[in-house]
Amino acid sequence: MSQDVLAGLAVILEEVAGVDPADVTPEKTFIDDLDVDSLSMVEVVVAAEEKFSVKIPDDDVKSLKTVGDAVSYIQRAGVAA
């Protein structure tokens, strides 16, 4: 798992939802563990697309339950690009 992507996501989550970066670990779920609501999740996705130069279609966002899901997705999408 990329530590760079994980750290980048932590920066976004702090900016968008005030999540403590220390709480951003792969097993955490966005909604239940980190208290990121569905609207803020949209902001996280848009910010991640920009930061990591990837596309995350809305249909795929639903499958990103945990921080680890998002890191893996971004890594795969980055490689594909």
Partner 1 sequence: MTTTPRQVVVTGLGATTPLGGDVASTWEGLLAGRSGARRLTEEWIEQLPVQIGAPLATELPLARVEARTLDRSQQMALVAAREAWADAGSPEVDQERLAACVASGIGGVITLLTQHDVLREKGARRVSPHVVPMLMPNGPASTVGLEFKAKAGVHAPVSACASGSEAIALGLDIIRAGRADVVIAGGTEAAIAALPIAGFAQMQALSRRNDSPESASRPFDKARDGFVLGEGAAILVLEAAEHAAARGARVYGALAGAGISSDAYHVAAPDPTGAGAARAVRAALRSASLEPTDIVHINAHATSTPAGDLAEAVALRTALGDHIDAVAVTSTKSMTGHLLGAAGALEAVVSILALRERIVPATRNLDALDDEIALDVVSIDNRKIGTGAALSNSFGFGGHDVCLAFTV
Torsion of CA 63, 64, 65, 71, to 10 degrees: 150
CA-to-CA distance for 53 and 35, rounded, in angstroms? 26
The residues in 47-66 that bind partner 1, with binding defined as CB under 8 A, are 49
Indicate which single residue of 22, 39, 79, 81 sits in contact with partner 1 (rule: CB under 8 A): 39
Let me know if 37 is a catalytic residue. yes
17 or 72, CB closer to partner 1?
Answer: 17
Which of 11-19, 23-31, 61-69, 70-78 is the region at the interface with partner 1 (rule: CB under 8 A)?
Answer: 11-19
Q: Distance from first CA to last CA of the chain, Å, rounded?
A: 18
